[in-house]
Structure 1
Amino acid sequence: MEKGWILLGALLSISFGSDAQINSKAYATMLDALYKKTVPLMSVATLQKQPDAILLDTRTKEEYDVSHLPGAKWVGYDEFELNRVADVPKDGNIVVYCSVGYRSEKVGEKLMAAGYQHVHNLYGSLFEWVNEGNPVVNGQGKPTQRVHAYSRLWGIWLKRGEKVYE
């Protein structure tokens, strides 16, 4: 099934060219097909109005070290364990994100199953955050333009920042 979504993303990128915008109909269609919608979605605009949000980055440590949302805590995806969020209140306003929102949805499901009450998946995730002109910081907490684009296939959706693939 995941291969089907990757193929859909590739076909959409070919159909709409490399200039497709993150807020394009093609990207929205791909995201809507990719998400199971088991975790409520939150837009970038809504997140910006939530100063109390607890941001959890579900990408690899290498991706997180390249750049992440300011104040985000790395929790990982393959290596995610609930003990990484033991300090996060069960009633906290939690927003999970990854590159586009697939991995974060899976971690969000685990959080909800563990009793976390207010979990949201950032719609479009890091790519949309950056494409809308919002800042990211590196592993040392310093502002950066570098963004881990996950892979060249998925990197087509990242329109701002300096793409990093390693």
Structure 2
Amino acid sequence: MINEIDSESLRKRLTDGEDLLLVDIRTPAEIAQGAIPDALLMPMHLIPLRLSELPKEREIVVYCRSGARSYQACAYLMQQGYERTLNLRGGIIAWARHGFPIESPTP
């Protein structure tokens, strides 16, 4: 079972200063259109190569465009022993629909 979080809950937890690690798994072309501030940019195909960058003790929120790829990525991370993994339901589309901040990534 994949745990999920909605945009409103994520925004509240970030605003409250909770120690969440946001991981944007979209392609560089998608990320160029904007990302959630402070997200770690890690295209989905690189996750197996960059697992060491993801601390198992932190809660990790994975997101993509719509929530489908990030759901699969959460399943993979859980198989690798990451128990504190959340999928952002609806992805960055849902986040943007609520008017929450999106910033252009720095190159």
TM-score between the two structures when normalised by the length of structure 2: 0.87
Q: Aligned residues, how many?
A: 103
Residue 137 of structure 1: CA displacement? 0.8
What CA deviation, in whole Å up to 9, does each residue of 1:115-165 have, x standing for no partner?
111101001110010000101011228xxxxxxxxxxxxxxxxxxxxxxxx
- Deviation, structure 1 residue 44: 1.1
Deviations 1:92-127 (A, max 9, x none): 110011111000011111111111111010011100
Q: Which runs of 4+ in 1 moved over 4 A?
A: none
Mean Cα deviation higher: 48-57 or 131-140: 48-57
Aligned-partner residue type, residue 39 of structure 1: I
Say if 2:11 is the partner of 1:48. Answer: yes
Give the structure 2 partner of residue 82 of structure 1.
48
* Structure 1 residue 52: Cα displacement: 1.2
Contact 1:95 1:119 in 2 (8 A): yes
Say which structure, 1 or 2, has more relative contact order (CA 8 Å, 6+ apart).
2
Q: Report whether the alignment pairs 1:61 with 2:28.
A: yes
CA distance in 2, matches of 1:107, 1:138: 23
Could you say which residue in structure 2 is the equivalent of 1:156? none
Q: Distance in 2 between matches of 1:76 and 1:110?
A: 14
Whether the 8 Å CA contact 2:11–2:100 is kept in 1: the answer is: no
* Aligned-partner Cα distance in 2 for 1:85–1:137: 25
Equivalent residue number for residue 157 of structure 1: none
Matches of 1:53 and 1:81, distance apart in 2 = 18
**Structure 2: stretches of 5+ with no match in the other structure:** none
Please state how far the C-alpha of 1:85 moved relative to its aligned partner.
3.4
Residue in structure 1 matching 2:106, options 140, 144, 160: 140
Identity %: 30
Q: Contact between 1:92 and 1:117, CA under 8 Å: does it hold in 2?
A: no
- Asked if the contact 2:34–2:102 (Cα under 8 Å) also holds between the matched residues in 1, the reply is yes
Given that 1:97 and 1:121 are in contact with CA atoms closer than 8 Å, whether structure 2 keeps it comes out as yes
Letter in 2 for 1:82: P
